[in-house]
Structure 1
Amino acid sequence: MSGSRSIPVPAPPPSRIEQVTTSACGSPGLRERTADLADAVDDPPMGIQIRRLQRGTEAEFVTGLQWLFDPPGSRPPDWDRDRAVERTAQVLADENAALFAARSPENQLVGVASIYLDIVSVRFGRRASIEDLAVHPEWRSQGVGAGLLATAKEWAQEHGADYIFLESGIGRTEAHRFYVRQGATHAAAAFRWTTGQPR
């Protein structure tokens, strides 16, 4: 997949207060939006750009990942932002993985996603796993997540995946309903063991 794609999402309401702030990764000028989003569904659509990330965008991706720490999520016990940036650089160098970012017309980061070609299952074939799908808290339920999910699914298909796997925390019931609406089947329970030291 190359270039970028535009997806229609509702425009922020005219009454929205906008202020220029410094983002968590230290880049000034990103617009942080504050407003009640209840009226957004009646607004005209606008384009959100979704692009595949390249080297040099590691801190941006990690900033988006940290939205997953908001309830009902939580910060991993051994979370280290610097180590996460290093790991992101490793992923960006891997031809079997892709990271995507969604940006508003004002160039605000509003969502991120990651997908990996990981195993060949004897039973099901080549698997692609969506590891991360995070949307800015004030841009949720506006089509950003659906656009990122569609982009990740398209990348998986283009790279020969037979099926796509996504694991989601048990407390994320709203996300689970979203995935089912997007055509997923709730097919399994996931279990995790932690081994060794963080790398």
Structure 2
Amino acid sequence: MTTGRITFSRAGLGDVGTIAVMVGELLEEIMSASGTQAFNFNRAETDARLTEFISQDQYIVFIAQSEEAGAVGFVSLYKSLALYAEGYFGTIAECYVRPKYRSQSIGRGLLAQAKAYALNQGWQRLEVTTPPLPPFDRTLAFYGREGFNVAGGRKMKVLL
């Protein structure tokens, strides 16, 4: 549990290593709960990718920091476009709060940062894909409480 103040800020290149570690934690949690090896995580490659994405100013990351514990969560998003969405919108790529700090409104604060950024960009909406259900029913409920509605379908991929 955190007792200190939580601050939210836009991440920069100096935050790359910290965010990459949390990405690894997120992916491990998803794979452990779902029992599938859905992701390949390599810390050095993630650092390099994140450095490139942030440098291009196309991948926006907000980080939550505790006075005592340092980084406790992050949300990342990027600009998308589609006819069905009536123009530009944001896609939340990752949203993660370290387990010890959940249920303390940190996720809500991160989504507030993402929503404010999206509004400032003139985007029509934000979309997010939840991890596999039922292990992540709480995640789905969290997004529902934050105003997200089920849009249907499942996220699918093909490796090329």
Matches within 5 A, 1:178-197: 178-196=142-160
More strand by share: 1
Inter-partner Cα distance in structure 2 for 1:194 and 1:144? 33
- Residue 33 of structure 2 corresponds to residue 72 of structure 1: yes
More helix by share: 2
Residue 107 of structure 1 and its aligned partner are, at CA, apart by 4.8
Inter-partner Cα distance in structure 2 for 1:76 and 1:144? 26
Matches within 5 A, 1:102-113: 102-113=64-75
TM-score under structure 1 length normalisation: 0.70
User: Relative contact order: is structure 1 or structure 2 higher (C-alpha 8 Å, sep ≥ 6)?
Assistant: 2
Q: Is the 8 A contact 1:121 1:127 kept in 2?
A: no
Amino acid in the other structure paired with 1:59 = G
Q: Which residue of 2 aligns with 1:56?
A: 14
Residue 76 of structure 1 and its aligned partner are, at CA, apart by 4.0
* Equivalent position SS for 1:95: coil
- Residue 59 of structure 2 corresponds to residue 97 of structure 1: yes
Residue 79 of structure 1 and its aligned partner are, at CA, apart by 1.9
Matches within 5 A, 1:161-172: 161-171=123-133, 172=136
Amino acid in the other structure paired with 1:178 = F
**CA-based RMSD:** 1.9
Q: Give the number of equivalent residue pairs.
A: 154
- Residue 9 of structure 2 corresponds to residue 82 of structure 1: no
* Equivalent position SS for 1:90: helix
Q: Is the 8 A contact 2:9 2:62 kept in 1?
A: yes
Amino acid in the other structure paired with 2:56 = D
Q: Which residue of 2 aligns with 1:20?
A: none
Q: Is the 8 A contact 1:111 1:134 kept in 2?
A: yes
Q: Is the 8 A contact 2:24 2:41 kept in 1?
A: no
Matches within 5 A, 1:75-154: 76-121=38-83, 123-154=85-116
Inter-partner Cα distance in structure 1 for 2:21 and 2:40? 17
Inter-partner Cα distance in structure 2 for 1:103 and 1:123? 33
Q: Unaligned regions of 5+ residues in structure 2, if any?
A: none
Inter-partner Cα distance in structure 2 for 1:78 and 1:11? 31
* Equivalent position SS for 1:72: helix
Structure exhibiting the larger radius of gyration computed from Cα positions:
1
Q: Unaligned regions of 5+ residues in structure 1, if any?
A: 1-9, 13-45
Inter-partner Cα distance in structure 1 for 2:37 and 2:62? 21
TM-score under structure 2 length normalisation: 0.86
Structure 2 CA distance for partners of 1:125 and 1:78, relative to 1, 3 Å: same
